[in-house]
Amino acid sequence: MAVVLKTDKITKSFGGLLALDEMTLDFREQEIVALIGPNGAGKTTFFNNITGMYTPTSGTVEIFPPNQKSVKIQGMKPNLITELGLARTFQNIRLFGNMTVIENVMVGRHCRTKSHIFGAVFQTSSFKREEKESVEKSFALLEMINMSHLAGNLAKNLSYADQRRLEIARALATDPFLLLLDEPAAGMNPQETEDLDQLIVHLRDELKITILLIEHDMKLVMKISDRIFVMNQGRLIAQGTPVEIQNNPEVIKAYLGE
Amino acid sequence: MQALNESGSFFLELFFSGLTRGSIYALIALGYTMVYGIIGLINFAHGEIYMIGAFVGLTVAGILSILQFNLIAILVLAALFAMVYAAAYGYTIEKVAYKPLRGSTRLAPLISAIGMSMFLREYVILAQTPDFVSFPALTEGLFDLGAFSSMIQPTELVILIFSFLMMAGLFILIKKTKIGKAMRAISQDREMAMLLGVNSDRMISLTFMIGSALAAFGAILISAHVGQINYNIGFVVGIKAFTAAVLGGIGSIPGAALGGIILGLTESFATGYVSSDYEDVFAFGILVLILIFKPAGILGKSTTEKV
């Protein structure tokens, strides 16, 4: 299967601390990849380096958007990377709390609409059409996650699990081909985790999206991942299928100690 | 009976003149509050944008009246030019004086703003004049109010109507359009908005431009009402509008409108019933009281919610 993102020896250091040490890996079309490792291994730092929040100290990140030439994105602004088709969610939920559920999703549509201030001031027909499309598309995403009945609520008043799912819907609104989920199951009960795993599989199979997942819930990881990357102390220490990872002595050592 | 009637009409006169003044404060306060909402900066050069708007309007009106345009055409074109010109100023100031300082200490852009304010005032003194110049009464003949003219002047009514229309337009823009949503998203969490594909630099520029255009619009209306301008008008009005923004709750758009109206009415009643010497005493007295009892302003949120 075609590669959608490739990192080549990306390194990130903060002063004397080496947070990422020559990480080289790739993700392929329509697969679920999990990134696991002990706390502080550098998983979220890895996410931050490929979404434009940090610029890697060295190394390259290359993405391959469908029907488009590949682009080297290290050091690019986050909004341009999102426009190329990469979206993410956060471990600590970062919804716009004082906006409604549907408005949160519509912010995600922003980069896919073209009209600007003059269209808004003069209410041109193309502006109205785009706004209508944006509402419809956002509403469809809410229906997909069974939250359309909450569309008018303020995001900050949602339950924890709903907030997590809304973050996913909002990221999907940017039309990504690669979606990065940072601990999406954190704080969810078993039933909610079950729903989440169905949603993630649905995204891969129906929407043809590649999912990169940071997760501590090993049951979820082992169940849905096609491939797993294991990090420890900023380095990639293992990669393979769930079965291979479970039997890898390096991994067991990293998790359990010598 | 006669006395009561007179006091009643005196009250209404003060009420309308306060409302007029307040709606101008509100228009300018919106610029302060929008910029604060989106990047957390008090743009002290905002008053000077207002002043420059007035000078541009004056120049355009002068040229057009030589060309013998009719009054309404002059008014519309002068306002339009002033708004576009002020928007260009707002855009440039942000790029030159604030953007390079983003990410440094909170104090740095604030000092840069004060410097920019002084620079623009001195620049207008040198490029135009340090003296008062008269401003044509562009809005005088628009309405004939007949019997009501003792309560409200035609120029005041023009200010009221147009500033309310402008504010209503802004509310719709912020509440309903994708631009408003993007701005609100940035004000809550800029990094997250960028990760959703919002070009935050462009939205910040746009915020400055909209705020500046509103200030210039207010400047044309009030200058046509008062009849004269100089390089210093932005300073006084700027301080008052800033007060209005703080009064209403800085960062809150309805708060800026409300704060402006309250401040205008307070000043007007203080002038009418006490003495014009006490106008500022009452205006700032109210500010002090609000800050003591509701530090975040009337409609401001009481907690900081920066993530």
Write down the ipTM of this complex. 0.89
A185 with A114, same domain?
no
State the CATH number of the domain containing residue A10: 3.40.50.300
Q: What percent of chain B has pLDDT over 70?
A: 95
Domain boundary among A157, A186, A203: A157
Domain boundary among A130, A157, A184: A157
The amino acid occupying position B42 is I
Tell me if A229 is assigned to some domain. Answer: yes
Q: Answer yes or no: do A107 and B198 touch at CB < 8 A.
A: yes
CB-defined contacts A:B, below 8 A: 89
> Is the Cβ of A174 closer than 8 Å to some Cβ of chain B?
yes
Is the confidence at residue B306, as pLDDT, over 50? Answer: no
Closest CA to B161 of B287, B75, B92, B96: B75
Burial (0-12, 13-18, 19+ Cβ within 10 Å), B171: middle
Contacts of A127 in chain B (CB under 8 A): 177
A187 with A124, same domain?
no
Domain of residue B206 covers: 23-238
> If you average pLDDT over residues B209-236, what whole number do you get?
94
Tell me what pLDDT residue B254 has: 93
Contacts of B193 in chain A (CB under 8 A): 96, 107
Residue B174 CA neighbour count, 13 Å, CB half: 22
Q: How far is B175 from chain A (nearest CA, A)?
A: 10
Question: Which tokens belong to A100?
Answer: 């409604």
Tell me if B268 is assigned to some domain. Answer: no
> Is the Cβ of A256 closer than 8 Å to some Cβ of chain B?
no
Q: Answer yes or no: do B181 and A107 touch at CB < 8 A.
A: yes
**What is the biggest distance separating any 2 CA atoms in chain B, rounded to whole angstroms?**
68
Spatial distance between the Cα atoms of A169 and A202, rounded to a whole number of angstroms: 13
Q: Answer yes or no: do A99 and B307 touch at CB < 8 A.
A: no
A58 with A152, same domain?
no
> Is the Cβ of A78 closer than 8 Å to some Cβ of chain B?
yes
Residues near B162 by beta carbon (within 8 Å), at least 6 away in sequence: B217, B221
Q: Answer yes or no: do B178 and A120 touch at CB < 8 A.
A: yes
Spatial distance between the Cα atoms of B287 and B242, rounded to a whole number of angstroms: 11
A89 with A181, same domain?
yes
Spatial distance between the Cα atoms of A41 and A183, rounded to a whole number of angstroms: 14
Instruction: Report the residue of chain B nearest A94, measured CA to CA.
Output: B192
Q: Answer yes or no: do B188 and A98 touch at CB < 8 A.
A: yes
Residue A153 CA neighbour count, 13 Å, CB half: 14
- Tell which A residues from 102 to 121 touch B, by Cβ distance under 8 Å: 103, 106-113, 115-117, 120-121
> Is the Cβ of A134 closer than 8 Å to some Cβ of chain B?
yes
Q: Answer yes or no: do A131 and B189 touch at CB < 8 A.
A: no
Tell me if B34 is assigned to some domain. Answer: yes
Q: pLDDT-derived band of residue B302, with 50, 70 and 90 as boundaries?
A: low
Question: Which tokens belong to A253?
Answer: 């050592």
Closest CA to B220 of B52, B93, B63, B64: B52
Tell me what pLDDT residue B2 has: 53
Spatial distance between the Cα atoms of A203 and A229, rounded to a whole number of angstroms: 20
Tell me if A163 is assigned to some domain. Answer: no
For B24-58, what is each residue's pLDDT tens digit? 999 999 999 999 999 999 999 999 999 999 999 99
A113 with A52, same domain?
no
Q: pLDDT-derived band of residue B71, with 50, 70 and 90 as boundaries?
A: confident
Tell me if A167 is assigned to some domain. Answer: no
Q: pLDDT-derived band of residue B307, with 50, 70 and 90 as boundaries?
A: very low
Q: Answer yes or no: do A79 and B307 touch at CB < 8 A.
A: no
**Partner residue opposite A113 with nearest CB, options B178, B184, B196:** B178
Tell me what pLDDT residue B305 has: 46
Contacts of A111 in chain B (CB under 8 A): 196-199
Question: Which tokens belong to A72?
Answer: 């080297």
Spatial distance between the Cα atoms of A140 and A153, rounded to a whole number of angstroms: 16
Contacts of A134 in chain B (CB under 8 A): 178
A149 with A23, same domain?
no
Tell me if B265 is assigned to some domain. Answer: no
Domain of residue A118 covers: 96-157
Contacts of B191 in chain A (CB under 8 A): 53, 78
Tell me if A27 is assigned to some domain. Answer: yes
Per-residue pLDDT of chain A (258 residues; tens, 9 = 90+): 789 999 999 999 998 889 999 999 999 999 999 999 988 889 999 999 999 999 999 999 999 998 889 999 998 999 999 999 999 999 889 999 999 999 999 999 998 888 777 787 788 888 888 889 999 999 999 999 999 999 999 999 999 999 999 999 999 999 999 999 999 998 889 999 999 999 999 999 999 999 999 998 898 999 999 999 999 999 999 999 999 998 888 888 877 776
Is the confidence at residue B303, as pLDDT, over 70? Answer: no
Q: Answer yes or no: do A82 and B184 touch at CB < 8 A.
A: no
Other Cβ atoms within 10 Å of A146 Cβ, number = 12
Tell me what pLDDT residue A200 has: 95
Tell me if B247 is assigned to some domain. Answer: no
* Domain count along chain B: 1
Other Cβ atoms within 10 Å of B25 Cβ, number = 31
A29 with A132, same domain?
no
A90 with A181, same domain?
yes
Tell me what pLDDT residue B119 has: 96
Phi, psi of B25 (to 5 degrees): -55, -40
Q: Mutating which of A50, A102, A107, A136 best tests the B interface, going by the most B Cβ atoms within 10 A?
A: A107
A232 with A137, same domain?
no
Distances in Å between the Cα of B206 and the Cα atoms of A93, A99, B197, B201 are 28, 20, 16, 9
Tell me what pLDDT residue B140 has: 79
* Domain count along chain A: 2
A43 with A30, same domain?
yes
A236 with A111, same domain?
no
A212 with A130, same domain?
no
Q: How far is B201 from chain A (nearest CA, A)?
A: 10
Q: Mutating which of A47, A55, A94, A124 best tests the B interface, going by the most B Cβ atoms within 10 A?
A: A94
Distances in Å between the Cα of B185 and the Cα atoms of A86, A96, B5, B246 are 19, 6, 52, 22
For B243-284, what is each residue's pLDDT tens digit? 999 999 998 999 999 999 999 999 999 999 988 888 889 888
Is the confidence at residue B296, as pLDDT, over 70? Answer: yes
Contacts of B169 in chain A (CB under 8 A): 121
3-class state of residue A116 by DSSP? coil
Q: Answer yes or no: do B181 and A53 touch at CB < 8 A.
A: no
